[in-house]
Structure 1
Amino acid sequence: MYVYYLSRELQRMGHDVEVISSAPLPEVSEGIVLHQLRSSSIYHPGSSFRKNLLKVRNLVDLHELCASRLGVFAEPWAFSFRAYAKIKERCKQRRFDIVHDNQGLGYGLLSVKRLNIPVIATIHHPLPIDRQADLEQATGFRQRQRIRKFYSFIRMQAFVARRLDRIITVSQSSAKDTNLFFRVPPDKIRVVYNGIDTEIYRGNEEAGRNRHGLIMVANTDDRKKGVLYLLQALQLLRDDGIKLTIVDDAARHSSYIEDVGPLPSYGCKLVNKLNLDAMVHFTGRLTREELAQHYSAAQIAVVPSLYEGFGIPAAEAMACGTPVVATSGGALPEVVGDAGILVPPANADALAAAIKQLLNDKQAQRQMSEAGKKRVREKFNWEQAARKTVEVYQEAMTTK
């Protein structure tokens, strides 16, 4: 949703915005031009090597197809060169003041710089953190090798990030880690917090009349989201009659192999393994409005992540007046502030204790509910994010 909200606010400020993307396409506001680029990756649902081979048009297509067949995530590399070709083509009709990359960080961006256009990128968090989380929870040598191969594009991202005009990160924590993992000089990094759409994410009086249970919003296949530790905490609370709603699919397509159809998600497999079926419900995908209703109906939003570059679910829950129990991983302390309880990452005992404590303290729930709404209004809004992003654009344009 980063592209949708940022481009919408930039347009409202009077800027002319064009978005270049490949599948899955982002939603954009009316009046914003969306250029769709093709992809030869076999990681998309319904794709296969044989189907995509028939669509190969050039060496970029062939490289992406063969690399993905071998287990390498080549989309950032391939997308960057296709985007460069599209920008070069569009420059015949118009002039771009800035190119803003959303964490693709492919080599093609360096070609864009040769068009004499400043290029900046947003790094939500550096992906070596994801790789490490996946490796730590991998089972067996073969799975670890698949993960290392899949993330082999990270070296390219670090190389490109150091050579762009400016880097935006969405938290101080992410800024520090971008410097640590990608060695981007601190004087090139600017922090611009994400916003929350408070027209959608706000307290729903009807849904909130009888708040009950816990909610977690995450792709549970992403190991750093910490679903393992939340489910272990739920085991410890089995006698307390607590219900957990997980906003995620119970089955999805694999990230590391050619598409073979939906498979049970990591979270769903853990629920079955830990015998928690009666305590956990998966919603599947929800609209933003439905998600806001689920936040408003929950007593506590739990964010058990090992790391977050920002922590959108925590901020969305806070905007809906839902108290948060989160870990201290990454940027979560920056986001949550006094609107929740923080515990160490990867600690099921601490998570269970904090959940039980907050469930039994109605006064603390009310205080955190009000603190969360206030914090989101003051610190996390898209209009403010867009203004600060434009300041980074102007800086990049004047110092190029």
Structure 2
Amino acid sequence: MTAEAMVKSPFEESATDGDRPLRIALLTYKGNPFCGGQGVYVRHLSRELVRLGHSVEVIGAQPYPVLDTGATLTELPSLDLYRSPDPFRTPKRDEYRDWIDAVEVATMWTGGFPEPLTFSLRARRHLAARAGDFDVIHDNQTLGYGLLGQLGAPLVSTIHHPITVDRQLDLDAAKDFKKRLSVRRWYGFTRMQERVARRLPSVLTVSGTSKQEIVQHLGVREERIHVVHIGADTDLWSPDPSVAEVPGRIVTTSSADVPLKGLVHLVEALAKLRTERPDAHLVVVGKRAERGPVARAIETYGLQDAVRFVKGITDAELVDLVRSAQVSCVPSLYEGFSLPAAEAMATGTPLVATTGGAIPEVAGPDGETCLAVPPGDPGALAAALGRVLGDPELRARLGAAGRERVLDRFTWARAAEGTAAHYRAAIERAARARSDR
């Protein structure tokens, strides 16, 4: 059975069902949409929940979420130890406020990543002081010890995908024992997340593939996991014929040296492709790494003028960049959903994507809504990209079919309806449990 076939139709909340609006606390330890998919999730889900009539208070730490009109933000500051331009900084003595700050610094000093634990502890303290303010608490993949036990309202947790997958890919890419030891220490928080996940009453995830991974990697019982697809903002991410197509342009969104994202394989594919199409070039939405596998590949293949990194652009500029490309590419070895795939498809830009993780669940059938290739295969990537760049009719067909797929399956309005239905189910379960005591 395919991952997509495993997904039941999402619950949908009726606008006329007479249920009162919900007071929702949405927790996110890292919520800026420019730092990754978790921030995008918080921004768009909160907006659409407000449009359904609910009250949404996002409680987050640095980098703080960017929210649209309607949702409110409560800042729950950490020590912000990884901020730019001084990551892994040592705080000044007057910055320490309590024992949680000491835990945060000590974990960082010993090579670990403290934020899921320390945010959960601060969130627990904050929620305890506000008992009765919320009907439901929604945790966005913190999975920290502080969220166990009574929080004053039923808990629903989103797990986009198990971070143990990232850990294994980073271990596989580590070159020596010292690096593997460092990777294991950095991902030490995943042991906590595994223990917490197994005790959660209700887990939401974004794809059938992620559901399988959560069962396999985290040991969560299958009946506790519910799939609610996320999606693209199809008003923003839309076709615009007035934006000129740039010949040979390939666009991707990637963290340069995160092995999971597969950017080094795309750079190798570009080198192969340019032997036949010298105009082929790559625009990467993300930060350029000055060292590491991607930087070495760019230098080795002489692609300094053919690969450009962009960062800090506006939403409108990002959408126009994707519209200007002749092909969008998702080269990841694994994704729990792949928002970049859905967003590119929503603009009508043709997509070449790997079959890593849940990407096929989003991108659809090979040859119909995308061209699909095996993960980690630069030759296959080069061939698929060359085929799309060289065939205007194929580009038009894939682009139109891709947008139609997103409109039909992957919108934030549908995600909010499904999520709100699970909130109500969690509230009802909590009420039944109280009445049974």
Superposition TM-score tier, normalisation by shorter sequence? over 0.9
Match of 1:140 among 176, 181, 196: 176
Match of 1:318 in 2: 345
Question: Alpha-carbon deviation of 1:311?
Answer: 0.7
- Counterpart for residue 99 of structure 1: 137
SS at match of 1:99: strand
Q: Is the 8 A contact 2:209 2:358 kept in 1?
A: yes
- Residue of structure 1 in register with 2:360 after alignment: 333
Q: Which residue of 1 aligns with 2:329?
A: 302
Judge which range, 52-61 or 369-378, deviates more.
52-61
Is residue 161–residue 213 contact of structure 2 (8 Å, CA) maintained in 1? yes
> How far apart are the structure 2 equivalents of 1:180 and 1:109?
22
| TM-score (norm. length: structure 1) | 0.92
Aligned to 1:22: 61
1:362 alignment counterpart: 392
Task: Answer yes or no: is the 8 Å Cα contact 1:321–1:372 preserved in 2.
Answer: yes
Contiguous gaps of at least 5 residues in structure 2: 1-39, 431-437
User: What are the Cα deviations for residues 368-398 of structure 1, in whole angstroms up to 9, with x where unaligned?
Assistant: 1110111111111111100000111111111
Counterpart-to-counterpart distance in 2, 1:199 and 1:53: 48
Partner of 1:381: 411
Judged with a 3 Å threshold, the aligned counterparts in structure 2 of structure 1 residues 59 and 298 are, in CA distance, closer, same or farther, namely: same
* 1:142-157 to 2 correspondences below 5 Å: 142-157=178-193
What is the CA-CA distance between 1:116 and the residue it aligns to?
A: 4.5
Q: Which of the numbers 312, 316, 335 marks the counterpart of 1:289? A: 316
> Which amino acid is 2:222 matched to?
P
Partner of residue 153 from structure 2, selected from 117, 132, 145? 117
Output the amino acid matched with 1:11: V
Distance 1:224 1:48, change over 3 A: closer
Aligned to 1:254: none
Distance in 1 separating the partners of 2:312 and 2:298 = 18
Partner of residue 220, structure 2: 184
How far did residue 12 of structure 1 move?
A: 1.2
1:108 paired residue among 146, 154, 169: 146
Q: CA–CA distance in 2 between the matches of 1:319 and 1:243? A: 22
TM alignment of 1:161-176, pairs within 5 A: 161-176=197-212
Distance 1:339 1:114 in 2: 46
Q: For residue 18 of structure 2, what is the aligned residue in structure 1?
A: none
How far 1:265 moved relative to its partner? 6.8
Confirm or deny that 1:69 pairs with 2:109.
yes
Q: Which whole-Å CA distance do the structure 1 matches of 2:296 and 2:69 have between them?
A: 40
- Across the aligned residues of Structure 1 and Structure 2, the Cα RMSD in angstroms comes to 1.6
Q: CA deviation at 1:49?
A: 4.6
Contact 2:82–2:89, Cα closer than 8 Å, also in 1: no
Does 1:271 pair with 2:307? no
Name the aligned partner's letter for residue 168 of structure 1: L
1:208–1:180 Cα change, 3 Å: farther
Q: CA deviation at 1:151?
A: 0.2
State the TM-score, normalized to the length of structure 2. 0.85
Runs of 4+ in 1 over 6 A off after TM superposition: none
